[in-house]
Amino acid sequence: MNYLQFMLIIVIQVGKGCESQPDFQLLSAVIQNIVIGALEPNAITLEIITNYSNSENQKLNTDLVEEILNINTKTEKPIPIILNPPWDSLMDDRLKVRLLMVQRAEDVRLDLDGSVKYYRSLKSVLTTTPKYVVIFTSYQFNEMERIFQLLFDAYILDVIIVMPHTNQVQIFTYFPYHSNRGCSNVLPVLVYTTDGFEKQQPITYDTIFPRKTLNFHQCPIRVVVWNTPPYIDIIGDPTGTVSLQGFDASILDILSKELNFSVEVVPNDPPKIISGVVYPNGTAAGVFKMLQQQRLNLTIGWISCMLNRLEVSTGSNAYFTDHYVIILKNNIMVTPNELLLRPFTKSTWRVLICVAIVKIALLRMIRKHKIKFHSILLLAWLYFLFFFRVGYEGVMNHVITHPPYQPLPQTIEEFIEQNFTLFADDSTNRILDFIPHLKEISHVIHCNPLELLEQLDSLPPKFGIISTEAYIGHFMKMHMENRSDYSILEEIILTGVNCIYYPRGSFLAPVVDDILDWLSNSGIRDKLVKEIGMENVPHSTAVLRQFVYGDSKESSKSETF
């Protein structure tokens, strides 16, 4: 995670019925230590929220706020401090610290319902995760656990609770994934203590916010996948055990090993659809609705990176690039019957047949009645056949010297002009929403991408199927003997990039991005890509056209999606 990209919300809670009066000066010194050691190096804006102040300890609250406001006079690099900023300040890109003064755990929930929900409802890409520091002057450990539970439910892991005593200040956090305490653990763990001014150690960012997502200790991570080879191939056995294979399955396996978590596969809702849809009004269906409802931890497997999806979820860095192309049969050949009839149109052949019938009838009549000019009519018929033969043989000679292929289209424009029909599966059909002129000539076949490719030979003439190079390469890998029967439209339809998606603001996003970057830089990802078989994709129509006709057009630039 980039530690410069985060919002820190400091929650000050003054409890009722304290067993002893906390040392205000020592508490103030610890807060100053946190601000100077953990916040000031990152030039973070400090926002003080007094809406939940404890009226019973108003003087303590006022003095503490005054001390915090005066911190800038004691530092070399003053940071901006704002008192009770409006909600829309969360839209500001500046790094922030929210200092929230409360008297109970319920007030933390109220702030989460306000600030965090507003923050996550913004139609923008979230790159930060809120962090909390709770100054808690009560000894109610059950309240500490409740605060940790509220924040864990909001996907907030970087939390500390500062508990001041008469001559001591302790700092607690929680580790939800622990080898001894199990999963979803919210028990307080002591990470820092000081017994006085002289013994106070410097507080750094790593001291109060240790990384908690580097080892999940085999805790289950709920994942939604779907059967889309070569990305994900779901294989089951009679015992009910499910195994995953494919490119994205390999990525998920590397993530699980690096972070030490177990994969719990959960079905999509509804289970028969691939991926999901995000609607303009902010609602969603499929896997993105599940992400909105925080019913899973991540989803992977042929999911395009799209801005509207980031309005309801958090996406990873792009880790795979693929092209959407149109595959068609390259042997749009003239049939034997068409070859024999090719020199003339149907109307010409009708005229010839009619003349032949008339000629036969006239010859019989002439011979029967011994009519003059018999030789002249026969000579005319022979001349007619001669010119007909010359024309026919001339065309046939051209056909013999030039293979009888119909020119294949190279661009989308040619594809449409030649009256081709486009077929798409249910999931790929969503891409056509961005290409209206192709959607007008398309037909949806209710199946998955590989099932549609299996129907290549059974579809009607002059058709094309829109799919990705990965799907086509995987399909051709299993049908190499027929590879020469197909070709790819020269013009690329779209260039898509795939992402992993999490619930909005998930703590998994930063650590997974680090691993994805490592896979890219180390070359491991490229090695996994080669296993898909994308080198098996058929030649483009431009290559075939150059080979057959000796001409070629420059391919159009592809759109990027």
The predicted structure's pLDDT at residue 418: 87
DSSP E strands, 226-343: 233-236, 242-245, 262-266, 276-278, 284-286, 298-299, 313-315, 320-329
With a CB cutoff of 8 Å and minimum separation 6, the contacts of 45 are 79, 80, 81, 82, 92, 94, 95, 96, 97
| C-alpha R_g of the chain | 36
pLDDT in tens, 283-314: 899 999 999 899 999 999 989 998 889 888 99
pLDDT band at 489 (very low <50, low <70, confident <90, very high): very high
Is the pLDDT at 373 greater than 70? The verdict is no
Q: What is the pTM of this model?
A: 0.79
φ, ψ for residue 487, nearest 5 deg = -150, 165
**What average pLDDT does the segment 250-269 reach?**
95
Q: What is the mean pLDDT of residues 483-500?
A: 91
Give the model's pLDDT for residue 86: 74
From CA 233, how far away is CA 248, in angstroms rounded?
9
**Of 9-13, 37-41, 318-322, 460-464, which has the strongest mean pLDDT?**
318-322
Q: Write the CA distances from 325 to 291, 410, 476, 526, integer angstroms.
A: 30, 11, 14, 21
5 close to 95: Cβ distance less than 8 angstroms: yes
Is the pLDDT at 61 greater than 80, yes or no? no
Confidence of residue 497 (pLDDT cuts 50, 70, 90): very high
DSSP string, 270-284: STTSSSEEE-TTS-E
pLDDT of 275 higher than 70 = yes
- Most confident segment among 50-54, 127-131, 322-326, 338-342: 322-326
Amino acid at 549: Y
pLDDT in tens, 348-369: 778 778 877 877 777 677 666 6
Backbone angles phi, psi at 538, to 5 degrees: -60, 165
Q: Crossing angle for the helix pair 24-34 and 58-69, nearest 10 degrees?
A: 40
Token pair belonging to 336: 């034997």
- Whether the per-residue pLDDT at 554 is higher than 70: the answer is no
